[in-house]
Amino acid sequence: MKIINHSVQRIINEDESSPITHVADIARTCYQSEGKDYKAEEALIRRLIKNGHTAMIEFADVTFRIITDRGVMCELTRHRMASYAIESSRYCNYKDKDIEFIKPVCLIEEYNDNFDTPYELWLEHMKQSEEYYKHFISCGYSPQIARSVLPNSLKTEIYVKFN
C-alpha cells in the first residue's frame, strides 16, 4: 500500500505555440489574413470575440495530468468542456502492485484519548480495503468485481484536455 498526495502537471508539447498564436493562426484560415505580430494576433482575437466569432477560441486548449482520488475524479468529470482519459479500476488489476491511495488534505491530526486519530482510522480502512481487494482477486474475481471494496481515496490518474 502507498499513500500519496494529489498532484497536477501541465502537459506541454515541444512544438506548442502560445494559445494566442495558435488561435490567431486558425482564425486566419477563415479570413485569409497574414501577420505574425503578437499585438496583431491579440487584436485579431479581440475582434473575433467582439464579433461573436468565439468558436475560434475553442482551439486554444491545454492538457493536464492529474493524480487525485476517485471522489474528486467524479466531481471533475462532470464538466463538459473537457475530454478525459482516466485510469480504469474496471480493467486495471492491482493484484501484484501496491494499491495507491490519496491522503485526504482535510483530516484533523488531533489525538483523542478515547479514539484513534482520524488519519489512523482512515489508514486502517485503506489497509483493509487493499486486503479485501486482493482476496477477491485471489478467489478468481475480476478487477471489475473486486474494485467494489475500494474507497473514494483510491488514486486515479486522469489526463484532461480543456478548450
71-115: pLDDT as tens digits:
888 888 876 678 888 888 888 899 998 999 998 877 655 555 556
Is residue 14 classed exposed, middle or buried when 0-12, 13-18 and 19+ CB atoms within 10 A define those classes? exposed
> Measured between alpha carbons, how far is 13 from 22 in angstroms, rounded to an integer?
13
Please give the mean pLDDT across all residues of the chain. Answer: 83
Provide long-range contacts, Cβ within 8 A and 24+ apart, for 91-98: 91/143, 91/144, 92/143, 93/137, 93/143, 94/130, 94/133, 94/134, 94/137, 94/143, 95/134, 95/137, 95/138, 98/1, 98/2
Residue 161 has pLDDT above 60, yes or no: yes
String of DSSP letters for 20-53:
HHHHHHHHHHHH------HHHHHHHHHHHHHTT-
Residues of the chain above pLDDT 90, percent? 26
Residue scoring higher pLDDT (44 or 62): 44
Distance of CA 41 to the CA centre of its chain: 31
Q: What was the pLDDT predicted at 119?
A: 83
Q: What was the pLDDT predicted at 110?
A: 53
User: Which amino acid belongs to residue 86?
Assistant: I
Q: What was the pLDDT predicted at 11?
A: 74
Q: What was the pLDDT predicted at 27?
A: 80
Q: What was the pLDDT predicted at 83?
A: 82
Q: Report, as an integer, the average pLDDT of 28-38.
A: 65
Binned at pLDDT 50, 70 and 90, residue 31 comes out as low
C-alpha distance from residue 6 to each of 72, 79, 109, 135, 155 (Å): 10, 19, 18, 27, 9
**Maximum mean pLDDT: which of 12-26, 33-47, 86-100:** 86-100
